[in-house]
Amino acid sequence: MKTTAYFREVVCEKHPGIAQEWILQVTAEPLERRQQADGRFVFWGVVPEAGGRVLRVVTLEDSQTVHNAFFDRGFRRSLLRGGQPALPDVPGP
């Protein structure tokens, strides 16, 4: 899995419990995929092994190099309410 320096230095430190296999799973079969204005892609997917939490993965323009990954509570709440989740533009650092 290709990653940015930001992912290796910041994300892995802040979210050590996020498994690489989960990131690969979400990017391979996302619930939702959206391209940001800056060209990066955002993927959302449910991770059953994490209690059904929704993982948000941000990649660079190539859709393969992972820049950020974290659990997205807002997306999950929208899914649980049965509505369409609000998909905000996710600014990059």
**pLDDT tier at 75 (50, 70, 90 boundaries)?**
confident
pLDDT in tens, 28-60: 999 999 999 999 999 999 999 999 999 999 999
In this predicted structure, the answer to whether residue 9 has a pLDDT above a threshold of 60 is: yes
Given a cut of 70, whether residue 90 has pLDDT beyond it is: no
Q: In this predicted structure, what is the pLDDT of residue 41?
A: 97
Tokens standing for residue 30: 């996302």
State the average pLDDT over residues 82-88.
Answer: 52
All domains in the chain, ordered by first residue = 5-80 (3.30.1450)
Q: Is residue 30 classed as helix, strand or coil in its secondary structure?
A: coil
Residues 24-35 as b/e (b if ≥16 CB within 10 A, e otherwise) read ebbbeebeebee
Q: Is the pLDDT of residue 2 over 60?
A: yes
